[in-house]
Amino acid sequence: MERRHFEQEHTIFRASFREFLQREVVPHQDAWEEAGIVPREIWCKAGESGFLVPFADEKYGGAGARDFRYDQIVCEELAYINEPGFIMPLHSSLCAPYLDTFGNEAQKDRWMPDIVAGNTIMAVAMTEPGAGSDLAGMRTHAEKKDDHWLLNGSKIYISNGILADLIIVAAKTNPDNKHAMTLFMIEAGMPGFERGRNLKKLGMKSQDTAELFFNDVKVPPENVLGQVDFGFYYLMQMLAQERLTNACCAIAGAKAAYDVTKTYVTERKAFGREIAKFQNTRFKMAEMKTEIDIGQVFVDRCVMDHNQQQLKDDIAAEAKLWTTELLCKVVDQCVQLHGGAGYMWEYPITRMYANARIQRIFAGTSEIMKEIIGRANGFA
């Protein structure tokens, strides 16, 4: 189905980004997967080519393109090549917007140019061993001292956890109020900040996911993002964009799985005919195509609403819920249509299957999305 919300400049951006990925990423994907991490240089190359943080102001080296369609294209093209480790959407569409929205001018001047250039890689650390869905249950805390904050605690499952140079860390700052959190910008090399091992995962194997530890980290006031005690409110404010980003990636992932399966079923034969000629295959492919097209229209509409600052939290939650559930259904059916080949790592569908599963869990689980949607519709 033809998509109507892209203009010529988006098509040009997509073509150039696609060419970049084919040249700089695709040839290295197996090696990155083996290493469990991507090299820093790829971030710098993406920065040099102008693909990181497209919304950033020109004075920071950005294109000043405050148009989420560019973020959407980045999500889609990475999903089409099934590259989970070079997690540009986390850096550009989730982390950098915190600095843009809540940072002061001095903080932006200090960090934004290197973030746009890819010299500074970002991460956001909310989840803890004892607090994921229930963020208010976090135990990481910071205490105000004379001229600094003293940060203590730990975070888990942090994407870019090994590579990140600048991490937005949420911590409690008022023991009498469980929602009083503050966001701290923690920099690599700060004494007391340590990283655990690169965690072994079911999928997304080229992405570094790690535990982070903070033991009496002295954080200067210049590294406090926004107002003290407002962190929880800031996190909530950014969740709609985070969920929309997930939805953009998920629906594109479903399309990618559909495409590789279409090729496979037209080449593979059984009982003297192409797998594609069986009615079951045709029906499954037709069902998947229909649901992907419907999901894509909804996501595209959300992107345009978000560009107008009109995307509501519960609608973003609907987009995340629907697309990530659809993605997991699609990859499962596509594995089935591949037969035994669908269980072999050398086939793209197998990696897509493994990579997809987390989408229903991170950035808010499907159950939490249903709670948000339910509450917004009067089911308290």
Tell me if 67 sits within 8 A of 191, measured CB to CB.
no
Report the residue number, 50 or 364, with the smaller CB distance to ligand FAD: 364
Residue 330 and residue 323: Cα distance in Å, rounded? 10
Q: How far is the CB of 122 from ligand FAD (least distance, A)?
A: 10
Tell me if 151 sits within 8 A of 116, measured CB to CB.
no
Q: How far is the CB of 368 from ligand FAD (least distance, A)?
A: 6
Question: What number of residues does the chain have?
Answer: 380
Cβ neighbours of residue 33 under 8 Å, at least 6 residues apart?
85, 205, 206
Residue 46 and residue 75: Cα distance in Å, rounded? 14
Report the residue number, 136 or 286, with the smaller CB distance to ligand FAD: 136
Pairing mode of beta strands 122-125, 149-159: unpaired
Residue 324 and residue 253: Cα distance in Å, rounded? 9
The count of other CB atoms within 10 Å of the CB of residue 316 is 26
Q: How far is the CB of 99 from ligand FAD (least distance, A)?
A: 16
Q: How far is the CB of 230 from ligand FAD (least distance, A)?
A: 18
Q: How far is the CB of 360 from ligand FAD (least distance, A)?
A: 9
Q: How far is the CB of 14 from ligand FAD (least distance, A)?
A: 26
Binding site for ligand FAD (CB under 6 A): 123-127, 132-133, 157-159, 201, 204, 209, 358, 361-365, 367-368, 371
Tell me if 88 sits within 8 A of 78, measured CB to CB.
yes
**The tokens of 145 are what?**
């001292």
Report the residue number, 157 or 214, with the smaller CB distance to ligand FAD: 157
Report the residue number, 225 or 358, with the smaller CB distance to ligand FAD: 358
Name the burial class of residue 263, with classes exposed (0-12), middle (13-18) and buried (19+) by CB atoms within 10 angstroms of its CB. exposed
Report the residue number, 200 or 273, with the smaller CB distance to ligand FAD: 200
Report the residue number, 69 or 320, with the smaller CB distance to ligand FAD: 320
- SS3 (DSSP) at 272: coil
Which residue is catalytic, options 76, 77, 242, 291? Answer: 242
Tell me the residue nearest to ligand FAD as measured from the CB.
132
Report the residue number, 121 or 158, with the smaller CB distance to ligand FAD: 158
Pairing mode of beta strands 193-198, 273-274: unpaired
Is the dihedral angle over the CA atoms 54, 93, 353, 283 positive or is it negative?
A: negative
Tell me if 113 sits within 8 A of 61, measured CB to CB.
yes
Q: How far is the CB of 198 from ligand FAD (least distance, A)?
A: 11
What does the DSSP assignment read for 188-252?
Answer: TT-TTEEEEEE---SS-TTS-EEEEEEEEEEE-GGGEESSTTBHHHHHHHHHHHHHHHHHHHHHH
Catalytic, 242? Answer: yes
Pairing mode of beta strands 181-187, 224-225: antiparallel
**The tokens of 152 are what?**
């203590």
Q: Please give the positions annotated as active site.
A: 242
